[in-house]
Amino acid sequence: MVIAARLPTGATAEMESMFKDFLVSADGVRDADQSQEESKGEKYKVTEWTGREDRDKSKPADIMYLRLKPTYEKPFGNRSPSPRRVRNSRATPGGDAEMTSGDATSATIQARKVGDTYPPDMLPDHKGSYFAHDKARLVQRPYKDEEGNLIAPYELYSKLTEGTLFSAQISLSTYIIKEKPSSRFMDSKIYHINVEKLSILDPGFGPAWNAPATPKGKRGRPRDAGVDSAFDELSPSKRSRSA
């Protein structure tokens, strides 16, 4: 999830100065990298961590792109807690949702803890042909609302709305993705502002985000038994090279 953060309306002179100083510092990092790239003859497709509300790159940046931690994660280590059945408010009426012993329920806001996990079906966009969430879980992050309560992952759509005033503890990352020499694509350099902690100071006035609808996978073509059997007959080494 990405938040486009701008200077609050009616901000104090001190807050405005701090906000603009950060934008200048972030752009300064990119300018220094660009000078180094030019001296070495390197070229990248760049994804920056700041932007302009009117998209006019001749003007100073006035937006920073904040990236929340991954929505879904697989369990760490080899821990495999014994499953138990817990009533889930998003489950089909009359049925129970199966969750691991580490999963939290939506009914105990005060009892939430950072690191709690939730079943992935508490968000509507987790299904589809490009998702493999059999073992994945939503993870409780250190993000708090205006009352100091932890915001569950499935509440972010309604809590972080337009106009929300918040403070955040961040870290900066730069990723370089190298393409193969034969590729027609450029290498990429991606700049991220990562949200480590977040606290809402004043709730927003905008409507809740429209969560993406569950994508519908394309109807699969019938399998060709002849092709399958031919692949199965390959030796292990040939199968590895063919994969």
Residue range 214-240, pLDDT digits in tens: 555 555 555 555 555 554 555 555 444
Q: Which of 166, 136, 165 is nearest to 153 (CA)?
A: 136
What six digits make up the tokens of 218?
């394309």
Across the range 29-45, mean pLDDT stands at 95
Distances (CA, A) of 121 to 49, 215, 216: 31, 14, 16
**What is the C-alpha R_g of the chain?**
23
The predicted pLDDT at position 49 comes to 94
What pTM does this model have?
0.70
Across the range 128-155, mean pLDDT stands at 87
Q: Which of 151, 228, 234 is nearest to 197 (CA)?
A: 151
User: What is the enclosing helix (H) or strand (E) of 200?
Assistant: strand 187-202
Q: Which residues contact 11 (CB under 8 A, 6 or more apart)?
A: 19
Across the range 141-146, mean pLDDT stands at 96
Distances (CA, A) of 60 to 2, 35, 160: 21, 19, 26
Q: Is the pLDDT of residue 78 over 50?
A: no
Say how far apart CA 169 and CA 190 lie, in whole Å: 20
Say how far apart CA 49 and CA 175 lie, in whole Å: 12
The predicted pLDDT at position 171 comes to 95
Question: What residues are paired with 175 via a beta bridge?
Answer: 190
The predicted pLDDT at position 99 comes to 41
Say how far apart CA 198 and CA 195 lie, in whole Å: 7
Q: What is the pLDDT of residues 150-195, one digit of tens each?
A: 999 989 989 999 999 999 999 999 999 999 988 889 999 999 999 9
> Of 41 and 71, which is predicted with more confidence?
41
Domain boundaries, the chain: 1-69+144-212
Q: Over the chain, what is the mean pLDDT?
A: 79
Amino acid at 174: T
Across the range 35-48, mean pLDDT stands at 95
Across the range 126-145, mean pLDDT stands at 81
Q: What is the pLDDT of residues 88-97, one digit of tens each?
A: 434 333 333 3
